[in-house]
Amino acid sequence: MINISEATAIGLHVAIYIANRKGQIVPLKEMANVFSVSENHLSKVLQRLVKSGIISSVKGPKGGFSIIDGKENSTLMDIYESIEGEYIQKDCLFASRHFTSCCCIMKPLISSINNTFEDFMNNNHINDLKL
């Protein structure tokens, strides 16, 4: 099943926000206000995006974050995996390995949801979406 943490939801939104302002340095405080999230939590999310090479950070009083050239074409899945790690499809809500490999009663539904999610995340780029 799909796992989207609050950190990932924030990461997706701020990546789009920053990509929409290509060529600008976007301050942490501005994004924290726009998305009504704590600066500390946002800072941790942004550092994951920096570490993954999608955005860069600029220190100092006029500092903030900007999209790295060429990374505005990153997919939503790129952002998701920067925060959550590699996306691994789970086909059953039941945790037992015995049931997940053969006979989960919800497998057709969950597989359909997973396929829709993967399609959306892999076919939408952060520069295509507007906030």
Q: Are 49 and 101 in contact (CB under 8 A)?
A: no
Q: Would you list the domain boundaries of the chain?
A: 6-128
- Each residue's pLDDT tens digit in the chain (131 positions)? 677 899 999 999 999 999 999 889 999 999 999 999 999 999 999 999 999 999 999 999 899 999 999 999 999 999 999 999 999 888 777 665 555 456 678 888 888 999 999 999 999 999 999 88
* Entry pTM: 0.88
> Class assignment of domain 6-128?
mainly alpha
Task: Specify the pLDDT at position 102.
Answer: 63
State both tokens at 51.
């570490």
Task: Specify the pLDDT at position 101.
Answer: 55
Q: Are 66 and 54 in contact (CB under 8 A)?
A: no
